[in-house]
Structure 1
Amino acid sequence: MFRPASISDLDLLLSARAEDPVGIIDVERYRRELELHQYRPEWSWLHEINGRLIARALWWGQPHSDYPVSLDCLWVDPSITDPGIIAGRLVEAGHHALRASGIDRLPDLNMDVPQNWHDDPRAVAAVKWRQDAVVSAGLTETIERLSYAWTGNKPTPKRSDRLTFTPADDRVFLEIFSEAAQGSLDIHTQADLAELGPDVQAADDLDFYLGLPGDRQMWRIAQNLKGDRVGFIIPSRSAYNASVSYLGVVPEHRGHGFVDDLLAEITIMHRDNGAPSITGTTDTTNAPMAAAFRRAGYDVTAVRIVFGPHPANILGTA
Structure 2
Amino acid sequence: VFRQVVDREDLLALMTPVMEGTLDAHGQKDLASGMSARQAAERQYEEEFTGHRSPREWWRIAELPSGEPVGFVLPARNNYHPMIGYIGVLPAHRGHGYIDDILAEGTRVLAARDVERIRAATDLGNVPMARSFARLGYVNFERAIDMVWD
Q: TM-score with structure 1 length normalisation? A: 0.45
Q: Does 2:28 match 1:199?
A: no
Q: Secondary structure at the match of 1:301?
A: coil
Amino acid at match of 2:18: A
1:238 CA drift (Å): 2.1
Amino acid at match of 2:13: E
Superposition map of 1:106-185 within 5 A: 163-185=1-23
In the alignment, the residues of structure 2 paired with residue 243 and residue 211 of structure 1 have an alpha-carbon distance, to the nearest angstrom, of: 13
Count of aligned residue pairs for this structure pair: 148
Q: Could you tell me which of 107, 119, 122 is aligned with 1:282?
A: 122
Contact 1:235 1:243 in 2 (8 A): yes
| Unaligned segments of structure 1, at least 5 residues | 1-162, 311-318
Give the match for residue 85 of structure 2.
245
Superposition map of 1:245-264 within 5 A: 245-264=85-104
Q: Secondary structure at the match of 2:143?
A: strand
In the alignment, the residues of structure 1 paired with residue 8 and residue 75 of structure 2 have an alpha-carbon distance, to the nearest angstrom, of: 15
Deviations 1:100-150 (A, max 9, x none): xxxxxxxxxxxxxxxxxxxxxxxxxxxxxxxxxxxxxxxxxxxxxxxxxxx
Q: Secondary structure at the match of 1:303?
A: coil
Amino acid at match of 1:192: D
Give the match for residue 74 of structure 2.
234
Deviations 1:261-290 (A, max 9, x none): 111001111010111100011111111111
1:194 CA drift (Å): 2.2
In the alignment, the residues of structure 2 paired with residue 166 and residue 220 of structure 1 have an alpha-carbon distance, to the nearest angstrom, of: 5
Moved beyond 2 Å, runs of 4+: 163-167
In the alignment, the residues of structure 1 paired with residue 90 and residue 62 of structure 2 have an alpha-carbon distance, to the nearest angstrom, of: 10
Amino acid at match of 2:123: D
Larger radius of gyration between Structure 1 and Structure 2: 1
Contact 1:168 1:219 in 2 (8 A): no
Contact 1:185 1:285 in 2 (8 A): yes
Contact 2:25 2:123 in 1 (8 A): yes
In the alignment, the residues of structure 2 paired with residue 282 and residue 167 of structure 1 have an alpha-carbon distance, to the nearest angstrom, of: 22
Give the match for residue 27 of structure 2.
189
Amino acid at match of 1:201: A
In the alignment, the residues of structure 2 paired with residue 186 and residue 268 of structure 1 have an alpha-carbon distance, to the nearest angstrom, of: 23
Contact 2:54 2:77 in 1 (8 A): yes
Deviations 1:58-82 (A, max 9, x none): xxxxxxxxxxxxxxxxxxxxxxxxx
1:199 CA drift (Å): 2.1
Q: Secondary structure at the match of 1:245?
A: strand
1:309 CA drift (Å): 3.7
Q: TM-score with structure 2 length normalisation? A: 0.93
Percent identity of equivalent pairs = 34
Superposition map of 1:57-68 within 5 A: none
Q: Does 2:146 match 1:306?
A: yes
| Unaligned segments of structure 2, at least 5 residues | none
In the alignment, the residues of structure 2 paired with residue 309 and residue 232 of structure 1 have an alpha-carbon distance, to the nearest angstrom, of: 32
1:167 CA drift (Å): 2.8
Contact 1:177 1:205 in 2 (8 A): no
Deviations 1:10-62 (A, max 9, x none): xxxxxxxxxxxxxxxxxxxxxxxxxxxxxxxxxxxxxxxxxxxxxxxxxxxxx
Q: Secondary structure at the match of 1:235?
A: strand
Q: Secondary structure at the match of 1:293?
A: helix
